[in-house]
Structure 1
Amino acid sequence: MTVGAREYHERTKHSPRSVREGSHGLNFDNKPRPYKEYVDLPARPLADRLRPPQQPALAAIAESTPDGEVPRADELDPDRTHNPDLETVTTLCYYAAGITKSIDRRGRSLLFRAAATTGALYHVDLYVVCGDLGEGDDPADGPTLEAGVYHFDPRTLSLDVLREGDYRGVLAAAAGDDGVAHAPFSIVTSSTWWRNAWKYEERTFRHAFWDSGTTIANLLAVAHALDYRAEVVTAFADRPVAELLGLHTEREAPLEIVPIGEGAPALLAGVTEPEPIDPEIEPLSPTEREFPLIHEAWAAGTLADGDEADSWRTDRPAGPIGTRDPGDGERIHLDPVDHETASSRPLCRTIERRGSCREYDREPISVRKLSTVLDRAVRGVPMDVRREDERNESADERASDPPLSFVDPYLIVNGVEGLDPGSYHYHPADAELERLQRGEFRSEAGHLALDQRLGADAAVCLYFLTDVDEIVDALGDRGYRAAQLEASLTAGRLYLATYAHRDLGGTGLTFYDDVVTDFFAPRAAGQTPTFLYTIGRPA
């Protein structure tokens, strides 16, 4: 049995009534551990291989690739000398999903990861599929990381060895994507459902893309800061990838592939199914519950093979899907700072500083800083979901593409110097806000955010909305994943752009779905929220 994206989204909406009647107590004695621990697998330590990315965070997140362009397949340079190595893998994994902060509270050490995730439950894992990477100081020593399939363990800062040998061809065949075929290595994200469902139950399928999106935002920024090509592949045959990683999809499923770098293509001829593996894993908690709706929603969007994946990504209508055209409201042009005068806080320090703000004061933030955060973060996501003729456009043609393909950003502004309070529709291609309503909406903002004070106190609440019916009609059930991911990856960049500024803080919040739609109607009629990000001055 499968449940399509439309039904899943409707069944997992929050309303004042559903939250009031559906709240459940949390059994902390049964809380799952936030790590995947294998039994008796060999591991490669990484601790002495970290290379902190020094590029300013605002510059790193603003690039779709190191040179600002997404290259076509015929633009890839197989002789490029900038080859990744074990240090590259270490830096990417650590600054995307590593433990970057420890806070002592009530006699316990609370460990926080590099990217924000719902409830700090950390259900997203990273896997590395690579050929031989790098060379040691002495070429006779061989590669710094041997070809294989690995799992990143943030607890020990090491790579668990799942398979030895070069399986990039298996991954590339499943994706049917040139970028994966040409990458020296790819990072695959996954979600372990129970680690999030312990608290959020069926909404975990949404959170899989919320939390992998914020993780990938870090991953892309670090890759670009290290001058590697990186983009997100959302289309691939799910079950072959799960089998390659040794995953049982009722429990843990692959979400996205992020190919890193470029080089000679992996050998695709004669690719055969790898031998099955079923590594033993430590139990997550004394009793692990299943939520069938999560797996059913995942299964509804699966793809069978690389040909189907390639057809899905290329056979789509032209232009944005699920968004709304601008209206005739008053336009306010935003004026971000240029790269020379922008904050120069390095990406590594920004990621280490990033938190999820727990309290705002109501001091206003500057319109210039808001403009800069929006300008750097809301630029579009380098995903594979685009038509074949769009993928083969020139650089100038690609630059004119709309920044967002599946979601619209709407704002409630309550505390920005130089910007009147009210609601707005943001048009990133024009760097303009279109005013929808005038007035201070602090009480409304708090109510929309599940009646949380953070929503009311924030200087700005930024909502991403999409039209699920339009998405599913055009892209099928897998399109729902792409829309959720575009919103969350953009929100992940908003986190980084926010924390690049010393006096700003931000956090994501949950929301009453239909109440948000009603607030932004009539512009948002037929749309539904996918992510809520707030920004302000930390108290």
Structure 2
Amino acid sequence: MPLIHRRLPLSLHHHHRPISLPLPSTATRKFVRFISMSTSSQETATEEKQELLTQVSKYHNQTKHSFTNYARGPHGLDWANQPNPFRRYISAPLLPLLHPTSDDQADSPPYSSLFNSLPSPKPISKTTISQLFYNSLALSAWKTTGFSTWSLRVNPSSGNLHPTEAYIISPAIDSLSEHSFVAHYAPKEHALELRARLPSGFFAGCFPEGSFLIGLSSIFWREAWKYGERAFRYCNHDVGHAIAAVSMAAAGLGWDVRLLDGLGYEELEKLMGLNTFPGFSIPSRPVKGRMPEIEFEHPDCVLLVFPVVELI
């Protein structure tokens, strides 16, 4: 893997006794200006960071419940823009996954044992990828009352609204794809929607052998439609639930999971293929009627899934 070079901070050494300094040369004056600019930039960065922290604190206090009252919410539901709980890419090829059999489930290690040690890692295959998604992000049941029908999923969600979407970025997998690929997981169909093919050397040059990525994103509107401004809190909760669900399902297959937190918004957006959609700006005044762009996706994070290697 390529080495990461870090830029070391400049340090000024102070002497304990006075010394005579020559008149500053042109290079020295430029260096002093550089140090001054750096200090000014650091102060600006500190101010911006403090402003962001203030904004976060304000949002937290404004949207939390208290012992005496509830946080404010919307005064009604926008039925014209009721969110679709299942995202689909209609033009994308659908790659059906397998439903685990009773034998597959019988071979799974006990839940409690995963907190002590992981089983021997299973190879990446259509069977194991199917099992990973089935045990973490798939539908678990359907419920009906009167004329209403809704689904439940393996990963918990605030209000059962499920704003979290999942993507897999993986090397070639037998019976799924002959090429490295990016795909969206469709829980209702328990299938992968092929979004893009990747160069064959993408994983070999960047990640350990036998590893792949899981990307997670949020559709804020699914929560905001019901909970208003508190939606951002719930979306963050649900991303955490999804990370935990994927981690536990991966552990049952002998795989470990690590959050790659060095990627920013734009990198995550490109990695999951979300940069192809038009951006959404909040209207300056109320809008009547259908507004499809309100269901945009926000990239949250990417997880590295890799086999556990026993050190001898």
Q: Please say whether Structure 1 and Structure 2 have the same fold, judged by a TM-score greater than 0.5.
A: yes
Give the counterpart letter for 1:24 in structure 2. Answer: H
Give the counterpart letter for 2:151 in structure 1. Answer: L
Look up the match of 1:117.
157
Deviation string, structure 1 residues 199-258 (Cα, Å, up to 9, x no partner): 122222222221111122221111111111223333322212202322257531222222
Q: Distance in 2 between matches of 1:232 and 1:100?
A: 26
Q: Distance in 2 between matches of 1:211 and 1:18?
A: 24
Closer, same or farther: CA 259–166 of 1 in aligned 2, 3 Å: farther
Give the counterpart letter for 1:189 in structure 2. Answer: L
SS at structure 2 position matched to 1:261: strand
Deviation string, structure 1 residues 42-93 (Cα, Å, up to 9, x no partner): 1111145674462222223x25x727xxxxxxxxxxxx98421122221111
Matched ranges for 1:221-240 at <5 A: 221-240=248-267
Give the counterpart of 2:247 among 214, 220, 235.
Answer: 220
Given the alignment of the two structures, is residue 162 of structure 1 paired with residue 199 of structure 2, yes or no? no
Given the alignment of the two structures, is residue 101 of structure 1 paired with residue 136 of structure 2, yes or no? no
Give the counterpart of 1:66 among 118, 125, 131.
Answer: 118
Q: Distance in 1 between matches of 2:244 and 2:72?
A: 35
SS at structure 2 position matched to 1:96: coil
Residues 115 and 214 of structure 1 are in contact (CA less than 8 Å); yes or no, is this contact kept in structure 2?
Answer: yes
SS at structure 1 position matched to 2:260: coil
Given the alignment of the two structures, is residue 252 of structure 1 paired with residue 297 of structure 2, yes or no? yes
Q: Distance in 2 between matches of 1:205 and 1:3?
A: 16
- Across the aligned residues of Structure 1 and Structure 2, the Cα RMSD in angstroms comes to 3.4
Structure 2: give runs of 5+ residues left out of the alignment. 1-47, 281-295
Matched ranges for 1:201-220 at <5 A: 201-220=228-247
Identity %: 23
Look up the match of 1:499.
none
Give the counterpart letter for 2:220 in structure 1. Answer: W
Give the counterpart letter for 1:38 in structure 2. Answer: Y
Q: Distance in 2 between matches of 1:107 and 1:200?
A: 23
SS at structure 2 position matched to 1:229: strand
SS at structure 2 position matched to 1:97: coil
Given the alignment of the two structures, is residue 25 of structure 1 paired with residue 76 of structure 2, yes or no? yes
Residues 49 and 86 of structure 1 are in contact (CA less than 8 Å); yes or no, is this contact kept in structure 2?
Answer: no
Q: Distance in 2 between matches of 1:43 and 1:89?
A: 15
Q: Distance in 2 between matches of 1:19 and 1:90?
A: 41
Matched ranges for 1:134-173 at <5 A: 135=174, 146-166=179-199, 169=202
Look up the match of 1:199.
226
Give the counterpart letter for 1:246 in structure 2. Answer: G
Look up the match of 1:533.
none
Closer, same or farther: CA 32–6 of 1 in aligned 2, 3 Å: same
Structure 1: give runs of 5+ residues left out of the alignment. 68-79, 137-142, 174-179, 264-394, 396-539
SS at structure 1 position matched to 2:136: helix
Q: Distance in 2 between matches of 1:121 and 1:81?
A: 33
Aligned-pair distance for 1:25? Answer: 2.3
Look up the match of 2:212.
185
Residues 101 and 113 of structure 1 are in contact (CA less than 8 Å); yes or no, is this contact kept in structure 2?
Answer: yes
Deviation string, structure 1 residues 348-380 (Cα, Å, up to 9, x no partner): xxxxxxxxxxxxxxxxxxxxxxxxxxxxxxxxx
Residues 64 and 70 of structure 2 are in contact (CA less than 8 Å); yes or no, is this contact kept in structure 1?
Answer: no
Closer, same or farther: CA 166–228 of 1 in aligned 2, 3 Å: farther
SS at structure 1 position matched to 2:167: strand
Residues 143 and 149 of structure 2 are in contact (CA less than 8 Å); yes or no, is this contact kept in structure 1?
Answer: yes
Matched ranges for 1:292-307 at <5 A: none
Closer, same or farther: CA 145–116 of 1 in aligned 2, 3 Å: farther
Closer, same or farther: CA 21–122 of 1 in aligned 2, 3 Å: closer
SS at structure 2 position matched to 1:87: helix
Superposition TM-score, scaled by structure 1 size: 0.39
Give the counterpart of 2:110 among 56, 60, 65.
Answer: 56
Look up the match of 1:38.
89
SS at structure 2 position matched to 1:243: helix
Deviates more, 1:30-39 or 1:80-89: 80-89
Q: How many residues align?
A: 238
Superposition TM-score, scaled by structure 2 size: 0.65
Deviation string, structure 1 residues 15-41 (Cα, Å, up to 9, x no partner): 366637645223445321111121311
Give the counterpart letter for 2:111 in structure 1. Answer: A
